[in-house]
Amino acid sequence: MREIVAMFDPRRTSVGDSQILTSRGRLAVFGLIVLLGVLGPVVAIVEPYWLYILVQVLVFALLALSLDFVFGYAGLLSFGHAAMFGAGGYSAALLITEVTPNALVVLPVAMLTGVAVAAVIGWFSVRSRGIYFAMLTLAFAQMFYVAAFADLPATLLGVESITGGDNGIYGIALYELIGIDLSDRINYYFLTLLLVALSLAFLVRLANSPFGRVLQGIRENEERVAFIGYDVRRYKVVGFAISGGFAGLAGGLYVPFQSLAHPQFLHWTVSGELVVMLLLGGMGTLWGPMLGAASVIILEEMLGGIAAWEVILGGIFVVVVIFAPRGLAGVLISLKEDPRNALTNAKNAIENYVRKVRGKS
Amino acid sequence: MNRTKPETPDSETTDETLLRTDDVTKKFGQLTAINDVSMSIPEGEITSIIGPNGAGKTTLFNLFTGKYEPTSGQIRFRDERIDGMAPHDIVDKGVVRSFQITNFFDDLTTRENVRLATQAQYSGFGASDFLRHYTSLDGAVDDAEAVLERVHLLDVADRQASNLSYGQRRHLEIGIALAAGPDLLLMDEPTAGMSPEETLDTVELIEEIASDTTLVLIEHDMDIVMDISEFIVVMNEGELIARGDPAEIRTDDRVQRAYLGGE
Amino acid sequence: MVDATTLIRATLLGLQLGMTLALVAAGLTLIFGMLDVINFAHGALYMLGAYFGVTVATELGSFWLALVIAPLLVAVVGGAIEILSLRPLYGRNPLYHILLTFGIAIMTQGLVVEIWGAQSLRIQVPDALSGTLTYGSLSYPVYWMFVLAVSTVLIGAIWLAISRSDIGIIIRASAHDTEMVDALGFDVSRVFTGVVVFGAALAGVAGVLLGASRSVNPGMGFGVIIQAFVIVVIGGLGSFRGAVFSALLIGLVTAYGALIAPSLTDLFMFALMAVVLIIKPSGLFGATEAA
């Protein structure tokens, strides 16, 4: 009985001081990236529409990765990552339409915008903990949403339009990058893949750095971290800002590709969906949420034609929370560690569920 | 109460005073947890704070370490005011505590628990703190090994902390505090709940630590207190009622009445 | 710039909005206080109240029956959610309850579209409550006054129940410690189910009440849940009087905000929450240590 409970303990993904991604894990991730690199050109020929889906998968994988770094890894329950995503997107949209479509200028600015927005939100929010932190981040993100929706910047500056209000900014050109034609979708796909791979490498490195270990300590036991001499709030704000940078980058990649920056990108439902991706993928592992993002995007795409797709999506979600709280990553890890008992484990989980429902736990 | 104050705080502040409180009071709403306490902790000695439950001993620790701010009064460490400082700044000054209830990182190994604490002195927000691997921070790793050896946990260094025996967990608790590099170590009931054998072991450890660190203990076991303390402070209902060396405390009437007499 | 009539009207509107939101927020905060569950599906329950109301009102032709039957149906749904999905997760990280109920909310929204369609519906206001009250230059719909009255009476009754009776003792006991409830001789799992059933019924009442004055649509669940969260968080999670107080506050802020800048009412609401949390990290009536 205890083992079953322990097996489904969400924190078990972080057993020991095992670092994020061991060498075999790295190899698997590297292989997957190479596979995606090969897959792109094939998809572009066979079914070009799916290349569009793949770019979307990559962008949301990056966004989920950025969120997991604070949410799963550092224990900062952000429900406001849409703010950094949207802010990065809007700044890219404005730069491209007003200044330059040069990716080497715009993408770093989108990233910095994400950092700046996250630093502000983080600085105000880290004084609260747990669900209050979640609600604060949500509140700030919704303020950004309302500000974009009502085009508050234009009102304040007395000009006609900045964010484009509820229409958003549309007709955004694709990036220019030293001689590479990014309007060719396959090139945009490669650019996105490259940036996602670099981001993952960087964040994994960060997770295994002295800084990352302190963040993990904060997730495990915030009070004690302070009492061994760390400035907890400062670590949280810095971690949050770094995460925001990658969310901003995701926004900067998404907006020109969609040719649209819309207030909906800032809406809390985006943050909510992100949290869904995290949970489905297995939070705190960095790679799990990226799988989660891919699953959600592809599921939505495949179920989109079916009328009741929301019911199915919600249903899958409920089942995952109840039976596999460590998400896809958890399932994969337990399959790898203990492949022979997979069926027994599943059976135990169901028996355990029935027992609890009957109130005899 | 005034008449029972042995000396004024000033008369006792000597070169050897490491930590000193002046008229410290802490109120939680209506409740006065600490009432006008002035005391000083001599450097290089073992000081014990004793008193019945609810006397305010742990609250005093929380005041020393910045968890709470005094309602009034001052706390000085090496003549520098530390009341109102954030806990991590106080740790930087050299005041570290261990907890009564084991309070560490259950999912990490014993070694990593200690290493995380030693790391605080080696890392900050420089570029390398973000980009290097945590195990390549040699100073922190070496210090952690030294601490593990000191608290006799090298054998179980790779075990997950939650899988340690009770005695080992208590030692790890002390080890983490030691790893933070204290000049003044505050230990909250280090022997609570231990078997006689474990207690003996821990007392030995305490005395060993005291060879280079100033210690303040909260301790209920009177035998231990009388045995290892050089200085004793007696609290009752938030007030300081007596202080002195073990012999003085043993014979103090007020202590007898308030505390020892009841047992 | 704003005349007295407009101001009085806005105040009445704000109170009405606040009191109906309090019905939703009360359930939310009680469920949190006792079960430690952040119920994201609470908005969905409110929405179900409105849709059940539509169906009962059209099939049986009576608003009054809808006002009684729909909340009972919602209560049944709430009970099922508690037993089948919340219960197996007690003792786990509370985050999982958020995610679980988020999933339930998505499912419910999908189901509603399946059953009732995506278009807006409306509950017919009974003849006795239609028309407007006129007092000098002020005119105000009778039905809105009715909504204010019903929700105020309900909230008042709960307030009395909590402060005067055994129910209140159980609630307060389990908010601190479920073992205490056990010690008092109550079956904890029944108490938990009861709280969710009760909270669901309240949300259902709010759904029916507002379903006849606003449109009934599949987006209303997610629309109200964020507002209700803001209210509960401002009031302090788990605090009933905090929820009622801040529901009125949010109602009034929204109504007055609409006079100043209709497109920015949400901004005012979120700004208010941010300010409250920055000053008091666990809400106005919350425990001092943030969870």
Report pTM: 0.86
B138 located within any domain: yes
Does position A191 have pLDDT exceeding 80, yes or no?
yes
What is the number of other CB atoms lying within 10 angstroms of the CB of residue C175? Answer: 20
Mean pLDDT, chain B, whole residue set: 87
pLDDT at C181: 65
For chain C, percent of residues with pLDDT exceeding 70: 91
Enclosing H/E stretch for B77: strand B72-77
pLDDT at C267: 86
Residue B116 pLDDT greater than 90, yes or no: yes
Reply yes or no on whether the pLDDT at A6 is more than 80: no
> Could you read off the pLDDT of C71-93 as tens digits, one per residue?
999 999 999 999 998 888 887 77
Same domain, B193 and B170: no
- Please give the single-letter amino acid code of residue A114: G
A108 compared with C6, residue with greater pLDDT: A108
The chains in contact with chain B, meaning 3 or more Cβ pairs closer than 8 Å, are A
- When pLDDT is cut at 50, 70 and 90, the band that residue C183 belongs to is low
C110 found inside a domain: yes
CATH of the domain at A62: 1.10.3470
User: Would B100 be classed as within a structural domain?
Assistant: no
Give the count of domains, chain A. Answer: 1
**Pair of tokens at residue A6:** 């322990």
Q: Does B10 share its domain with B123?
A: no
pLDDT digits (tens, 9 = 90+) for C122-150: 888 888 888 888 887 888 889 989 999 99
pLDDT of the residue at C151: 94
**pLDDT at position C176:** 59
Rounded distance between C-alpha atoms, residue A247 and residue A355, angstroms: 42
Asked if residue B70 belongs to a domain, the reply is: yes
Residues B78, B206: one domain?
Answer: yes
Please give the pLDDT value at position C2.
67
The CA distance from B172 to the nearest CA of chain A, in Å, is: 13
Model ipTM over 0.90? no
B146 vs B263, higher pLDDT: B146
| Segment of A17-21, A237-241, A285-289, C220-224 carrying the highest mean pLDDT | A237-241
Residue-wise pLDDT for A307-320, tens only, equals 677 888 888 888 88
In which band, very low, low, confident or very high, does the pLDDT at C70 lie, cut at 50, 70 and 90? very high
Residue C270's pLDDT band (cuts 50, 70, 90): confident
pLDDT of residue B255: 78
Is residue B167 included in any domain, yes or no?
Answer: yes
State the alpha helices, DSSP H only, in chain C.
Answer: 4-35, 42-60, 63-81, 95-116, 142-164, 166-176, 178-183, 188-211, 220-235, 240-260, 265-279
**B253, B129: one domain:** no
β-pair partners for B34: B26
To the nearest whole Å, the CA of A209 is away from the closest chain B CA by: 5
B106, B109, B116: residue with CB nearest A213: B116
C277–A139: do the CB atoms touch at under 8 Å?
yes
Cα-based distances in Å from C275 to A61, A81, A147, C281? 33, 20, 17, 9
Percent of chain A with pLDDT over 90: 38
- Same domain (yes/no): B3, B90: yes
Mean pLDDT of chain C: 86
Tell me how many domains chain C contains.
1
Are residues A234 and B125, on separate chains, in Cβ contact within 8 Å? yes
pLDDT of A78 reads 92
Q: Please check the confidence at residue A360 and state whether its pLDDT lies above 80.
A: no
Q: Which of C6-15, C211-220, C273-282 has the lowest average pLDDT?
A: C273-282
Mean pLDDT estimate for chain A: 85
Looking at CA atoms only, how far is residue B180 from chain A in angstroms?
5
Same domain for B161 and B115: yes
Shared-domain flag, residues B116 and B221: no
pLDDT band at C180 (very low <50, low <70, confident <90, very high): low
pLDDT at position B1 is 37
Q: Which residue has the higher pLDDT, C194 or A357?
A: C194
- Please answer whether residues C193 and C83 qualify as being in contact, where contact means their C-beta atoms are separated by less than 8 angstroms: yes
Q: For residues B13 and B233, which has the higher predicted lDDT (pLDDT)?
A: B233
Mean pLDDT of B69-84: 92
Query: Which of C267, C268, C269 to probe by mutation at the A interface, max A CB count within 10 Å?
Result: C267
Looking at beta carbons, which residues of chain B come within 8 Å of A230? 88, 120
> Are C99 and A152 an interchain contact pair (Cβ–Cβ within 8 Å)?
no
Q: Which residue of A has its CA nearest to B159?
A: A16
B67 contacts B60 by C-beta, under 8 angstroms? no
pLDDT, residue B4, reads: 41
B69/B84 Cα distance (integer angstroms): 5
> B46 and B36 in one domain?
yes
Q: Verify that B35 and B80 share a domain, yes or no.
A: yes
**pLDDT confidence tier of residue C208, bands split at 50, 70 and 90:** very high
What CATH code is carried by the domain that includes residue B20? 3.40.50.300
B2 & B84 share domain: yes
Q: Are A92 and A251 in contact (CB under 8 A)?
A: yes
φ/ψ of B185, rounded to 5, equals -110, 125
Contacts of A142 in chain C (CB under 8 A): 226, 266, 270
User: For the purposes of burial, counting CB atoms within 10 Å of the CB of B117, is it exposed (0-12), middle (13-18) or buried (19 or more)?
Assistant: buried
Q: What is the pLDDT of residues A33-53, one digit of tens each?
A: 888 888 888 888 888 888 889
For residue A227, is pLDDT > 50? yes
**Taking CB atoms and an 8 Å cutoff, what residues of chain A touch B97?**
227
> Per the domain annotation, does B99 fall within a domain?
no
Which of B181, B206, B225 is at the close of a domain? B181
Angular region, B24: left φ>0, alpha ψ -120 to 50, beta rest: beta
Domain count across chain B: 2
Domain of residue B137: give its range: 105-181
Instruction: Report which of B57, B47, B49, B51 is spatially closest to residue B230, judged by C-alpha positions.
Output: B47
Cβ within 8 Å of A, C 194-223: 222
Q: What's at A214, amino acid-wise?
A: V
Residues B126 and B250 in one domain: no
Strand partners, B242: B234
Residues B166 and B186 in one domain: no
Structure tokens at B36: 């006008």
pLDDT at A13 over 50: no
Q: Which segment, A150-154, A310-314, C198-202, is predicted with the most confidence on average?
A: C198-202
B150 pLDDT tier (thresholds 50, 70, 90): very high
pLDDT at site C175: 60
pLDDT of res. B183: 94
List the domain range (segments joined by +) for residue C57: 4-221
Q: Is residue B212 part of a domain?
A: yes
| Among chain C residues, CA nearest to A76 | C95
Q: Which residues of A touch C98 (CB under 8 A)?
A: 131, 275
| Domain with A98 in it | 2-357
Res B172 pLDDT > 80:
yes
Which chains reach chain C with 3 or more Cβ–Cβ distances below 8 angstroms?
A
